[in-house]
Chain A
Amino acid sequence: MTSLAFSLPLVLKRQDAALMPRFGGKRAPAAMAGDADIVARLRDGDESAFAELIDRYGPTMLRVAQMYVRDRATAEEVVQETWLAVLKGIDRFEGRSSLKTWLFRILTNRAKTRGERDGRILPFSALAGAGDEVDEPSVDPDRFLGPDSPHPGAWAAPPRAWPQDKVLERETLGVIQMAIEELPDAQREVIRLRDVEGWSPMEVADALEITDGNQRVLLHRARSKVRAALEMYLDPDIAGGRA
């Protein structure tokens, strides 16, 4: 199973990435070129401002759109329409929300409308009812002592300390990437926005039109599954060796 990781098209950030303010807000959300600046340049017809925006948000927009609509071609159309709507509305943008939030609201609304029209079941609709997946434990219950033990709920098969270097190795990152790709749509998108792109909880909730609590539940499930996949890789004797 782990051998698959070698064939993944893994793209690593440059070593110095953490030192540079990066568009998209990673590590430095406030260090973005600044909405006011980019909006002014768009209004002036500065093509490089538009190029910055589509490079920064384009791939994410396409992924988010794909959750709502039936295929990639439709998602591409929705993204295209969103950009045109952004240009059309740019004179009315008043900065009450961030440009990013505004943009993703337009996108999500359009994608939802399109998905509904095509009879799709929307990805977050299951959350509204709540409780349907609450029995999805973060850690295999067999890893804990049972109710009859003197310490119910204490670790029976505890986790090990992981060496940081090992976790951050290229090969390990491949395992993480693969685990993320295997997540259900909503969980995958939330962990990408929060942990890969560094969005705040509120930005995620706003863009996907879900509650703060919902985004956290999805994120927690996603992270827990990624952790479990990583443990299977790093400590197979604990994670998978019992059965």
Chain B
Amino acid sequence: MIGERVIVERQDFQKLLDVLRQKGYTTVGPTVRDRAIIYDEITSVEDLPIGWTDEQDGGKYRLKRRADQALFGYVVGPHSWKKFLHPPVLSLWKAKKNGKSFEITPNHSEPPRYAFIGVRSCELHAIFIQDRVFTNGKFVDPHYQARRRNVFIVAVNCVQAGGTCFCVSMKTGPKATAGFDLALTEILDGQRHYFVVEVGTTQGAEVLQGVPTQPAPPRDLEIAEERVAQAMKQMGRQLDTTNIKELLYRNLEHPRWDEVATRCLSCANCTMVCPTCFCTTVEDVTDLTGSEAERVRKWDSCFTMDFSYIHGGSVRASVKSRYRQWLTHKLASWIDQFGTSGCVGCGRCITWCPVAIDITEEVRAIRESEQSNT
């Protein structure tokens, strides 16, 4: 039943993965690799970062051992679900020369049916945001749509916040409220280790039928609510979004942009880790004989020097203009383009910036400078 909440014991969690795999889903979720928690294919509960947590701050990410064996005792790492829905490298079509002409064969390969395990509320919102970018406008991206259509989402409600999190400011969490098939809240309470599972869709209910469940006693539900409420109070960052679009639009020549430009390396890390950044480029390649060609789409970043290149020069040649473009797009023009903010408050851009530039600090500096002028 949609909206129903049940209990799944820790020892039965593997069953959830098994049922999904039996139904033909490729289960992907968090796993430890290269001293970070990333997203990749997982088959067993043991693949999850059991007993790990992450310590995050501006330009800092460290994994630390927990005192317990929580499966989801961390927040978000350098990967986001966009690597599956909006692949970093994608062959769009192949072309063969045919006399003077050519024939093009579009890439019609069937993408895997993904089951995302452990999607945080901020990440759910990021997926909705990309849905608006790729499927709500005049044109639809068929590659995104093909992957998105079949995704099964197991969301996880955060019971602790990360060091750079500000989902509360962006109204994107910590509780997942919609768009999931199942939503879990992991509870470790004395000897007990269990999940409060909320059913979001009929597909979610179906999958759950293959997993041992118990009705959820009110006390367990209360604990779950408390834990999530706790996370709300732990936010590492805060962003005042009052009239933020107007604030940024009227400050395009603010000296703060020059200041941040002295620190920004235009390394593009922020755009790579951001779950909503969607810019891409295309490369047209041929084989050595020149008779076969291929067009490949790859992730791109507005921070690169030639992102805005037109005959002879780039429109945004200075780092200042590129940082300004990224921030004002993310927090201001995105609203005009797609009706929502582009930012979900996940904090990745703050954590993964090598020089710890903090998007919340930049906006605060501009906002406060106006207040001190009045």
A, B in one complex: no
> Chain A residues in contact with chain B, CB under 8 A?
none
